[in-house]
Structure 1
Amino acid sequence: MKASFIKGRTLKTLAPIASVAALVAIALPAQAEDWRGWNIHPDGYPNTTALEEFADAVVEQTEGRVNPRVYNNAVLGDQSDAIEQTRNGALDFANFNMGPMGPIVPETNVFSLPFLFNDVEHMHTVMDGEIGERFADALEDKGLVVLSWFDSGARSIYNTQRPIKTPEDVEGLKIRVMNNDLYVDMIAAMGGNATPMSYGEVYQSLTTGVLDGAENNYPSFESSNHYEATGYYSLTEHLIIPECLCVAKSSWEELSEEDQKIVREVAEEASTRQRELWVESSEESRQIVLDYGVEINEVDDKAAFQALMEPMYEEFIANNPGTGELIEEIRATE
Structure 2
Amino acid sequence: MDESGMTEGLAHAEALMIEGQNDEALDVLLGIAEDAEEYVDRNCPTTDEVQWFSFPTIFERLAYRRVEKDPRELRDVGEPMDRLYGDLALAAVHTGDYDIATNALKQAVRWNPMGCENRLNLADLFRVNGDINEYLALTYSVFERASDARHLARAFANFSEYFLVQQKPRTAAAALRAGRRLGVRERALDHALDQAAGTTHDPDLVGDDEARDLLAQEGLPDGANAEIAICLLMCATDAAQAGQQDVATNLTVRARDLVGEDASMALLRLIRQSDEDLAADQGAAGKEDAPGEKGAADGAEGTAGGDADGR
Q: TM-score, normalised by structure 1?
A: 0.22
From the CA coordinates, give the structure whose radius of gyration is larger.
Answer: 2
The structure richer in helix per residue is: 2
Q: TM-score, normalised by structure 2?
A: 0.23
